[in-house]
């Protein structure tokens, strides 16, 4: 019987199975992210989104908790003591920080409390427009035919009416213009753009396989609309609604500047009052204009960031 040499042993060793070696672990499949997950990852790294989100968070804090920022009454004025008193920029956050207007009222206090009116009108109008325009666009896009033709012609009629001019005509018929009246007037003429966006998204989505499968299984029309179509058409609607929110805030300020907006404390009213004193007291008009510009810009920047995150073509 031939002897096994050391070279033979070395050659045979690699073929042997090492009982002490750990068993290979199964490779886990990487979990795929949804459209919203990819969008959130993009937004987290977007500086424009972060800046606009911080500004909007600060504005919402001012809106809901104005007493945290000033203790002064925005409607109280002392003509004998504070008539057109100049700003004292060294006294930060005090009532005299940004000066006083021609009625002796604190410009800083009116700036803080004016945010509540403007932002409330902007959010309220956006909600009304999103619900009304979304329903009209969803019905027109899903059913098509004669229903789509009638609703599309209705949208064209409202598109033919100038937005601000129509709103001014409606508001002029109300002697007292509260926030609800302004929201209703802006929403009455502002739903058309969102209806067109929703209609186009629904026409594209209703051709999908999961919608056809739901129809084949006998799902009801409301279930198909609100369970299958609506969640998959929200992306463009959210983008348009976010950008429009800033537009409605600017529209409210424009109406108030023209004397057809809110009757209370508002940035538009203060800008209008400051225009009459622009030669001697520029600060009355300056600071509300700056706040209005920052607010509108923040919402527009947020909408642009969300649009870029939700649009796969930009990635």
Check residue 16 and give its pLDDT.
46
Tens of pLDDT, residue by residue over 97-132, are 888 888 888 888 888 988 888 888 889 999 999 999
User: Higher pLDDT residue, 43 or 107?
Assistant: 107
Q: What is the pLDDT of residue 128?
A: 93
Average pLDDT of 19-41?
A: 58
Question: Residue 13: what pLDDT?
Answer: 46
Domains defined for the chain, CATH in brackets: 37-314 (1.10.3720.10)
Give φ, ψ of 100 to 5 degrees. Answer: -130, 160
Assign 3-class secondary structure to the chain: CCCCCHHHHHHHHHHCCCCCCCCCCCCCCCCCCCHHHHHHHHHHCCHHHHHHHHHHHHHHHHHHCHHHCCCCCCCCCCHHHHCCCCCCCCCCCCCCCCCECCCCCEHHHHHHHHHHHHHHHHHHHHHHHHHHHHHHHHHHHHHCHHHHHHHHHHHHHHHCCCHHHHHHHHHCCCCCCCHHHHHHHHHHHHCHHHHHHHHHHHHHHCCCHHHHHHHHCCCCHHHHHHHHHHHHCHHHHHHHHHHHHHHHHHHHHHHHHCCCCCCCCCHHHHHHHHHCCCCCCCHHHHHHHHHHHHHHHHHHHHHHHHHHHHCHHHC
User: Mean pLDDT over residues 276-296, rounded?
Assistant: 85
Q: Would you state the pLDDT for residue 131?
A: 92
Residues in Cβ contact with 265 at an 8 Å cutoff, skipping those fewer than 6 apart: 74, 75, 110, 113, 114, 116, 117
Mean pLDDT of 73-91: 80
Residue 15 confidence (pLDDT) above 50: no
pLDDT (tens digit, 9 = 90+) per residue, 218-275?
A: 888 888 888 888 888 888 888 888 888 888 988 888 888 888 888 778 888 888 888 7
pLDDT greater than 80 at residue 210: yes
pLDDT of residue 85: 79
Strand partners, 100: 106
Selected residue with higher pLDDT from 28 and 253:
253
Q: Kindly state the tokens that stand for 225.
A: 């609309």
* Residue 197 contacts residue 136 (beta carbons within 8 Å): no
Find the angle CA(84)-CA(90)-CA(92) to the nearest 5 degrees. Answer: 90
Q: For 293-312, how does the pLDDT look when each residue is reduced to its tens digit (9 = 90+)?
A: 999 899 888 888 887 777 65
The length of the chain is 315
pLDDT for 5 beyond 90:
no
**106 bridge partner residues:** 100
What pTM did the predictor assign? 0.79
Q: Is the pLDDT of residue 1 over 70?
A: no
Average pLDDT over residues 50-67: 89
Question: For 158-202, how does the pLDDT look when each residue is reduced to its tens digit (9 = 90+)?
Answer: 888 888 888 888 888 888 888 888 999 999 998 888 999 899 888
Nearest CA-CA partner of 191 in 140, 261, 226, 118: 140
């Amino acid at each position: 019987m031939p002897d096994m040499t050391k070279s033979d042993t070395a050659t045979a060793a690699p073929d042997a199975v090492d009982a002490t070696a750990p068993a290979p672990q199964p490779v886990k499949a990487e979990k795929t992210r949804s459209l919203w997950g990819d969008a959130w990852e993009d937004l987290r790294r977007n500086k424009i989104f972060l800046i606009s989100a911080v500004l909007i968070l600060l504005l919402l804090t001012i809106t809901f908790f104005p007493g945290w920022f000033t203790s002064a009454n925005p409607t109280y004025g002392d003509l004998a003591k504070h008539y057109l008193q100049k700003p004292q920029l060294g006294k930060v956050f005090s009532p005299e920080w940004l000066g006083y207007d021609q009625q002796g009222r604190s410009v800083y206090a009116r700036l803080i409390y004016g945010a509540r009116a403007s932002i409330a009108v902007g959010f309220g109008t956006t909600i009304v427009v999103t619900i009304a325009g979304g329903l009209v666009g969803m019905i027109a896009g899903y059913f098509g035919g004669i229903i789509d033709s009638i609703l599309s012609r209705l949208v064209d009629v409202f598109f033919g009416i100038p937005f601000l001019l129509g709103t001014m005509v409606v508001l002029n018929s109300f002697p007292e213009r509260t926030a609800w009246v302004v929201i209703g007037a802006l929403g009455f003429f502002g739903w058309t753009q969102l209806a067109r966006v929703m209609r186009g998204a629904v026409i594209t989505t209703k051709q999908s396989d999961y919608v056809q499968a739901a129809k084949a299984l006998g799902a009801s029309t409301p279930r198909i609309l609100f369970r299958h179509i609506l969640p998959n058409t929200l992306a463009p609607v959210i983008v348009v609604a976010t950008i429009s929110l800033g537009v409605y805030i600017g529209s409210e300020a424009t109406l108030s500047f023209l004397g057809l907006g809110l009757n209370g404390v508002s940035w538009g009213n203060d800008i209008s009052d400051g225009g009459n004193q622009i030669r001697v007291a520029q600060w009355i008009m300056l600071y509300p204009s700056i706040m209005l510009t920052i607010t509108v810009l923040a919402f527009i920047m947020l909408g642009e960031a969300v649009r870029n995150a939700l649009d796969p073509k930009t990635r």
